[in-house]
A = this chain, B = another copy of it.
Amino acid sequence: MSYMGYKGKGLEFLQKNKIEVGNQIKIYADLPLPYSGIIMPRYEYSDDVHIVLKLDNGYNIGLEIDKIKKIEVESSKVIKKESISPKPKTDPALPRMLLISTGGTIASKIDYRTGAVTPALTASELNASVPELSKIVNIDTEVLFSEYSENLLPEHWMKIAEKLNSYARSEYHGIIVAHGTDTMQYTAAALAFSLSGFPKPVALVGSQRSSDRPSSDAALNLIAAARFLVNANTTGIFVVMHNTSSDDEIACHWATRVRKNHTSKRNAFQTVGGSPAFIVQDNRIEPNKLFNPPKVEYTPKIKFDNRVALIKYYPGFDPKIIDYIISSGYKAIIFEGTGLGHVGKTMHDPIKKAKKKGLFVGMTSQCIDGMVRMTVYDSGRDLLSLGVTPLGNMIPETALVKATWALANSKDSDEMNKNMIENIALEFSD
């Protein structure tokens, strides 16, 4: 019997019910209708109170053992992973690449071709499930951690940055970071600032897997990322995901200019206020002629300071929330203002207080696209005179990450201010 990755209560549960990884089963739990799917293996760091089912629509779902009312085995035939050579075929002529896995949908969806139920955590499994990869690169794989990206914290950004830094002078041609899509843009920005001038190309790759499509986008994103890393002759941090809703184009977005703009589409990620840095179409890599990455010496500064709040302004926003943030020891506030970079008059007093206490107060726009321009209307000019710093067309989420980074790496508020308005990692564009 195969219980791959299950332990404690989870293992007991499978044994008691005489089911194993790869079985097709029906589970009755919290909903009137049953969940139907294949039992998936668990990750290295998983808890022991859930079992994971790959539903017929392709999604993986975790079911709490205590809530399971009934199990029906639909097929006890184990859906086997392909026979895998103990070592992936390596071709010494191909460049070497590292794949670091941090979790997310991609780490369990890579197997769409083979129907195998193994999460792609090792190089051999990866090569087995995405055979194209072994024709492009020799991949080494490392599991850094295994988290849904909505659970990531600045500590995780630090771990990834330190891991990448340890390979900055390695022989790898490039590095793929497999990552959940929920907060991929935040991590990308954090890497872009903390590893400014990184001497290799890095591709953050995720998978969207919209429920209305049977096939996963993970394999194509990975293949395109490998091609991009090998052939694009560039360096720095990119997010590599579908560019259209079909499979013909993969976009490589520059880390500080990318945003997840749709909950489920494959091409959810977009370069805001411009076009992707590169487009991968089959074997061709099309560079964006306007893309001009910063040429700077590699000076890693891998520190983040969490005392930053991102505040989205809206009519009726309670100024006391700002008072609370000031009194809680925050050092910076990034506003997502309205239009060209405004907040209502009711915010003037708390902003005055924040500036008196020495906080950095930056302005971005909830419009997401376009420049903040605070000299156009009285409202903006009033905020400028209160000491609010306009942040150009920096994406609000990027501005938050930048402030978190700049705060930890500035000796005083003058340097913080300077760092925030300097174009460090192409976070300001046009």
B186 touches A154 (CB 8 A): no
Known pairs A148-B379, A150-B379, A260-B339; A400 contacts B314 (CB<8 A): yes
| Contact residues of A between 389 and 415, Cβ < 8 Å to B | 393, 397, 400, 404
The interface-forming segment of A86-94, A191-199, A216-224, A363-371 is A363-371
> How far does the alpha carbon of A315 sit from the alpha carbon of B314 in the complex, in Å?
21
Q: Name the distance in Å between A339's Cβ and chain B's nearest Cβ.
A: 4
A181, A345, A369, A377 pick with most chain B CB within 10 angstroms: A377
The reply to whether A314 and B186 contact each other, CB–CB distance below 8 Å, is yes
- Residue pair A339, B376 in contact (C-beta under 8 Å): no
Indicate the member of A157, A308, A318, A336 with the most B CB atoms within 10 Å. Answer: A318
Of the residues B182, B321, B343, B366, contact of A338 by C-beta under 8 Å: B182
Asked if B263 and A369 sit within 8 Å, CB to CB, the answer is yes
Measured CA separation A172–B347 after assembly (Å): 38
Q: Give chain B residues whose Cβ lies under 8 Å from the Cβ of A345.
A: 151
User: Does A183 have its Cβ within 8 Å of any Cβ on chain B?
Assistant: yes
Interface assignment of A177: CB less than 8 Å from any CB of chain B: no
Whether B338 lies near A371 (C-beta < 8 A) is no
A309-B321, A324-B324 are known contacts. Are A338 and B373 too (CB-CB below 8 A)? no
Instruction: Return chain B residues, CB-CB under 8 Å to A339.
Output: 150, 180-182, 260, 263
Residues on B with C-beta less than 8 A from A393 are 263
Number of interface residues of A (CB under 8 A): 75
The CA of A315 and the CA of B308, in the complex, are separated in Å by: 11
Q: Does A344 contact B (CB under 8 A)?
A: yes
Q: Would you call B341 and A371 a contact (CB within 8 A)?
A: no
Interface string of A339-372 (1 = CB under 8 A from B): 1111111100000000000000000011111111
A320 in contact with B316 given A153-B344, A182-B342, A377-B148 (CB within 8 Å) = no
| Contact A342/B376 with A318-B309, A404-B316 known, Cβ cut-off 8 Å | no
Q: A50 interface residue, CB < 8 Å from B? A: yes
Q: Which chain B residues border A301 with CB–CB below 8 Å?
A: none
CB-CB under 8 A from A372, the residues of chain B are: 263
Contact mask for chain A residues 142-174; partner B; CB cutoff 8 A; 1 contact, 0 none? 000000111111101100000000000000000
Q: List the B side residues contacting A318 at CB < 8 Å.
A: 306, 309, 328
Chain B residues within an 8 Å CB radius of A368: 261, 368
Between-chain CB contacts (< 8 Å), 22 pairs = A50-B378, A61-B375, A61-B376, A61-B381, A148-B342, A148-B379, A149-B338, A150-B339, A151-B344, A153-B316, A153-B346, A182-B339, A183-B315, A211-B376, A260-B339, A260-B367, A261-B369, A263-B371, A263-B373, A265-B370, A316-B404, A368-B368
